[in-house]
Structure 1
Amino acid sequence: MNNLTLSKDSAPRWLKDAADIATRSYAQLTAPNRPAPDYLITGTKRGGTTSLFNYLLMHPGVMGLFPQVREKKSTDYFFKELERGDTWYRSHFQTEAYRKLKGSQLGYRPISGEASPYYMWDPRIATRIKASAPQVKSIILLRNPVERAWSHYQERVQNGVEPLDFVTALHLEDERMSSEYAAIEDGSEEYSEAFDFYAYRERGNYLPQLKNWFAKFDLDQVLVMRSEDMYQDVQGAVDQVCDFLEIPRHELPTKRTFNARKKSTPMPSEARDYLTNYFADRNAELFDYLQVEPFWKIG
């Protein structure tokens, strides 16, 4: 741990808040010189978005959110902070002046972006992003939906916000989520923790989410990757992303996983059977839509 980290961690809350206000005020004043993000990592939850974001930050030509010392992954702008406006959003990205300075050292223009798996999940967000950053490129990681659901559930349990066992949570998902879906659809709720937290099954139903995204963005603006491929070959996956973002490839100093959950008991067989049956046809439709060989063997 370096001295800057020690100082930041030991600072009193009021000092951190004052620093945040001052930094954001300055950043908003210079927002006209701050471009929209070059890329977004938009999905899926528990699919490796945090790891991929951190791998990209190891690249000398990829800049973190401003100020980078905060080490933030996402602004949450398009679902929690929309009322702050586009000036506030752009204040999180580096200025063109700084990019030109850094670019003169690198020999190419550096890029910046953010990561939020919620961006793909909420059906309203693609339209908002298109309006704010029409040229942005999106990277979408898709994980085996059966394993993704179990990992999502484990995260909620470990965070102390899920009182139900997994089988019960799956069987009650439609009942728990019906009012949440309605509130999102009619716009009466901007953000709901329940909508974010408890859709273990439906967040793995990728085809409707992808169709919504592709309805707003051109094919060459979206890269769909299999999470398991990144886990198996981190450098190869990051190389593919670099090619997509049109920056030079870069050898990673580490390939460790970020935001991994603690190991726990195996998924209950009843839940695995239920999810396997649920996703069999849906995955077949997904692969047909993407015109790819099956990503996962299910059923």
Structure 2
Amino acid sequence: MNFIIAGVQKAGTTALFDYLSDIPAYALSATKEVHFFDDESVDWAAPDYEPYHAQFDWTGEAIRGEATPIYLYWPRCLERIAAYNSDVRLIVMLRDPVERAWSHWRMETSRGAEMQPFSWCIRQGRRRLFDAEPWGAHREFSYVERGFYGEQIERLYGLFPREQVLLLQADDLRRDPNTALGRVSDFLGAPAPAPVEHRNVHVGQDVGGALAGEDVSYLREIYAEDMARLARLTGVSFW
């Protein structure tokens, strides 16, 4: 395995995967989100990697990769990836964490997994993670928690050298996909890709009305310290 798009959910990982799937230099997983390293049913003391390897075509010299955006957030995923291949290259796509949380909630609402309003979910609803397994992590209701990028990137940098990590912003891929894809190719040592036309991939349903100003202010206050940490680590700032 050469690379993994490891995060973050609702930040353009599907669009990036879609663009890369059209470039001959890459051989991507049969399923976009493989969800191997976050699978708690695996015996991680002696993991069997055959189901993971079965996702890929191993013929030829293509650059192989997958995209499972929960990996950056889910407990112990990064450690499992490091144990599997300490030389793997990791791509992390970031988005304004407030916008990300709102988009995440809209997705879960449209799926029928979430029945509560956004304002409740980002306040009282965070208590639901206390009853989750693993404790404090939840696949659906982690609207706020997935946005603590500084904490997650700091953990990532503690496991992998910075030169093995590429940070991209969702807005950059949306506004100028050719430049973003060029950065990916440089990072992975692939030939420069042919120019592409902008495409909309996985656009969410219009549910929930508009994001309320008081919710934006509330979340920005929650994220303030972590955003400062992210800026110190990476130079990336959203506000």
State whether residues 130 and 217 of structure 1, in contact with CA within 8 Å, keep that contact through their aligned partners in structure 2. yes
Q: How far did 1:223 drift?
A: 0.6
Once residues 226 and 55 of structure 2 are traced to their aligned partners in structure 1, the CA distance between those partners, rounded to angstroms, is: 38
Give aligned pairs, total: 234
Q: How far did 1:270 drift?
A: 2.1
State whether residues 91 and 168 of structure 2, in contact with CA within 8 Å, keep that contact through their aligned partners in structure 1. yes
Q: TM-score, normalised by structure 1?
A: 0.74
Match of 1:142 in 2: 94
Q: Which has the larger radius of gyration?
A: 1
Pairing of 1:172-211 with structure 2 (within 5 A)? 172-180=124-132, 183-184=133-134, 195-211=138-154
- Give CA deviations for 1:75-107 in whole Å, capped at 9, x if unaligned: 211122634711221222222xx21xxxxxxxx
Aligned with 2:42 (options 82, 101, 119): 82
Match of 2:238 in 1: 296
- Give CA deviations for 1:108-157 in whole Å, capped at 9, x if unaligned: x4211110111111130111111112211000011000100100000000
State whether residues 148 and 223 of structure 2, in contact with CA within 8 Å, keep that contact through their aligned partners in structure 1. yes
Q: Which moved more, 1:141-150 or 1:75-84?
A: 75-84
Cα 1:252–1:197 change in 2 (3 A) is farther
- Give CA deviations for 1:168-205 in whole Å, capped at 9, x if unaligned: 1111233111232xx325xxxxxx9x701111111101
Match of 1:63 in 2: 27
Structure 1 residue identity aligned to 2:91: I
Aligned with 1:251 (options 194, 213, 222): 194
Pairing of 1:5-20 with structure 2 (within 5 A)? none
Match of 1:272 in 2: 216
Once residues 215 and 46 of structure 1 are traced to their aligned partners in structure 2, the CA distance between those partners, rounded to angstroms, is: 24
Extract unaligned runs of 5+ from structure 2.
none
Structure 1 residue identity aligned to 2:169: R
Query: Residue 113 of structure 1 aligns to a residue in which SS?
Result: strand
Match of 2:227 in 1: 283
Q: How far did 1:254 drift?
A: 3.4
Match of 2:108 in 1: 156
Structure 2 residue identity aligned to 1:249: A
Q: How far did 1:252 drift?
A: 4.1
Query: 1:231 aligned to 2:231?
Result: no
Greater fraction of residues in helix: 1
Once residues 269 and 261 of structure 1 are traced to their aligned partners in structure 2, the CA distance between those partners, rounded to angstroms, is: 21
- Give CA deviations for 1:208-250 in whole Å, capped at 9, x if unaligned: 1112211111111111122211111111111101100000111
Aligned with 1:73 (options 12, 32, 40): 32
Query: 1:40 aligned to 2:1?
Result: no
User: RMSD value over aligned CA atoms?
Assistant: 1.8
State whether residues 4 and 90 of structure 2, in contact with CA within 8 Å, keep that contact through their aligned partners in structure 1. yes
Match of 2:62 in 1: 110
Once residues 272 and 115 of structure 1 are traced to their aligned partners in structure 2, the CA distance between those partners, rounded to angstroms, is: 29
Aligned with 1:127 (options 70, 74, 79): 79
Once residues 73 and 22 of structure 2 are traced to their aligned partners in structure 1, the CA distance between those partners, rounded to angstroms, is: 27
Extract unaligned runs of 5+ from structure 1.
1-36, 100-108, 186-191
Structure 2 residue identity aligned to 1:270: E
Once residues 75 and 282 of structure 1 are traced to their aligned partners in structure 2, the CA distance between those partners, rounded to angstroms, is: 29
Once residues 199 and 233 of structure 1 are traced to their aligned partners in structure 2, the CA distance between those partners, rounded to angstroms, is: 29
Query: Residue 168 of structure 2 aligns to a residue in which SS?
Result: strand
Aligned with 2:120 (options 155, 165, 168): 168
